[in-house]
Amino acid sequence: MVNTKVTLCGIELDNPIIPASGTFGFGYEFAEIYDINCLGTFSFKGTTKEPRFGNPTPRIAECTSGMINAVGLQNPGVDKVIAEELPKMEKVFHKKVMANISGFSVDEYVHCAEKLDAEPSVGWLEINVSCPNVHGGGMSFGTEPGAAAEVTAAVKAKTKKPVIIKLSPNVTDIVSIARACEEAGADGISLINTLLGMRINLKTGRPVIANKMGGFSGAAIFPVALRMVYQVANAVKIPVVGMGGVEKAEDVIEMMMAGATAVEVGAANLVNPFACRDIINDLPSVMEKYKISALSDIIGCAK
């Protein structure tokens, strides 16, 4: 019998499969079609201090082997998430959940992190540093090591639960940013967030998405994600959560061989709502095919 268990920042998971933030809501819609307790955990919808309507429509554009989205962090705000969304989630998901947090200033990140850190159902805080820094000219916190480290240190100073920093691939040197987060106290790194992309409507000659550009995700980005996971995992001593274009059990094993302790599945959930369940069901047979007795044994084996 194969062993799919892994330990992420001190918390054991039945398997490494984690639906990525923004592709799984707060879980309860998916719980209507299958038992989501089969998941390792999931990262819930990106949460900000204040409610956000998001970007104007259209927000979605199809691509070859992927999609572009510019939803714009639509969410009800942290207070409503705690008061309304988490109680509904807790009725159908009985494991620790990953709280995904976004902010437009260091204070906003800290405010949300403190509130969600106090929630018993939250196991990890996943801090998305791909948001524009409103006090830094609009550049993302995650594009510069110092800014990423500042957010990390500020959140760590006010929370007790494991802090995982989610990094953007839209940078020149992702390793230096990951190392800066580790030095600032991060308990883990997750990557990659979406690549920046766009589509143009040939009939109108205008961008398809109202925001012009958006986050490119899907199977097409898997090799880029795998490369960055490998680079970061070999540069830091803290756990790495890999994501980007993962669609099947073989992709999960490849990500883990590159150095990921756990693997998030994003766009695949939007194409096939059973994607994570199917990957979990397929993992044992794929492990047997490649003579893998325990997933924990292959983490970072690709040297």
Catalytic residue numbers read 131
Write out the two tokens for 252.
């999960």
Helix, strand, or coil here: 263?
Answer: strand
- Read off φ and ψ for residue 177, nearest 5 degrees: -70, -45
Which residue, 202, 198, 200, 243, is CA-closest to 222? 243
Task: State how far the Cα of 240 lies from the Cα of 260, in Å rounded to an integer.
Answer: 5
Q: How far apart are CA 166 and CA 16, in angstroms?
A: 17
Sequence letter at residue 16: P
- Eight-state DSSP code of residue 267: T
* SS3 state at 258: helix
| Neighbour tally for 91: CB within 10 Å | 11
